[in-house]
Homo-oligomer: A and B are copies of this chain.
Amino acid sequence: MAASGFKIDKLVIIGAGLIGGSFALALKRAGAVRTVTGIGRSQATLQRALQLGVIDQTGKMDRDALAGANLIMVATPVGQMRDVLGALKLCLAEGTIVTDGGSTKQDVVTIARESLGSRFAQFVPGHPIAGTERSGPEAAFAELFDNRRVVLTPVAETAERAVMLVQAAWEACRAQVTYLTPRQHDTVFAAVSHLPHLLSFALVEELAAQESGELLFSFAGGGFRDFTRIASSNPEMWRDISLANREALGAELRRYRASLDNLQQLLDAGDADALGQVFERAQAARERWLKSKA
């Protein structure tokens, strides 16, 4: 019996990578699940997940594999969500709750509404704020979500009991559940996650494209390494996220470009006071943020 009192018989994870695999392992650690079935595009990935004890059996997207499932976690890249949910609709029982771990939420809600039809009320959109630049079942671990935030973005149609079950599952994973609307979610993450990724990719690409690119990289140090760590992230995944959230990300990018226009003017004008004030406000804001998290 789990400490939280939460216990389900059967979990299905669609996509047995970092997020899906860690979700399974965290629920197992809590004693909150009896058996986990893994479904995915790659048999090799599923076999590795099986060997690693992340899942207990593999299955295909059919009624057999989903029979008796209390909860299905869709943890595939956002770009595959339409295909996955469309296939899921054909074999989803009324009593099974579905959630996801996608990094954007307005598009997932739209896709889920279209794909799941009458089963849409069983779907709870979610986004765990945890991840590393690593992926695959080997990267999964039970502690990934400990004390991390998980944002759920249910809508008017979402069934209350579905939301309660998904919240309880995340709490059994020791995550902290927060609620936002899909639109709030996408606006927030455009600013604090999607934009930094785009900026980091942009810097590395721009330097690499210069004739002196190799010379430049040979002198790059620790600051550059940290600033560009997220440019080692999966390019396809971030392309999909950027496009899925292009409205909010586009607005943030426009705002940031206006900031850079301003900094360029201050720099060209040699305005030490104004430039120093921008840097000071930034440094102070970041220190406040670090303290608030401590």
Contact = CB atoms under 8 A, between A and B. Distances in A.
Size class of the contact patch on chain A: 35 or more
A204 interface: yes
A282 interface: yes
Interface in A209-251: 209-210, 212-213, 215-224, 226-236, 238-239, 242-243, 246, 249-250
Given A203-B195, A222-B131, A278-B201, A264 B260 contact: no
A48 to B, nearest CB: 22
Question: Could you say which of A148, A239, A259 has the most chain B C-beta atoms within 10 Å of its C-beta?
Answer: A239
A188 B205 contact: no
Q: Give the one of A187, A206, A267 with max B CB within 10 A.
A: A206
Most chain B CB within a 10 A radius of its CB, from A132, A227, A236, A250: A227
A257 B268 contact: no
- A interface, over-half SS: helix
A264 B250 contact: yes
B285 A205 contact: yes
B275 A264 contact: no
A223 B188 contact: no
Given A198-B263, A208-B285, A242-B267, A223 B229 contact: yes
A125 to B, nearest CB: 16
Given A232-B286, A239-B272, A255-B206, A220 B192 contact: yes
Contact of A203 (B196, B206, B217): B196
Interface of A: 129-132, 148-149, 151, 187-189, 191-193, 195-210, 212-213, 215-224, 226-236, 238-239, 242-243, 246, 249-250, 253-257, 259-261, 263-264, 267-268, 270, 272, 275-276, 278-283, 285-290, 292
Listed from nearest, the 4 A-B pairs whose CB atoms lie closest are: A208-B285, A235-B279, A205-B282, A239-B276
15 contacts: A129-B221, A192-B219, A202-B260, A202-B282, A205-B282, A206-B255, A217-B288, A226-B230, A227-B227, A227-B230, A246-B267, A246-B270, A250-B264, A254-B264, A256-B260
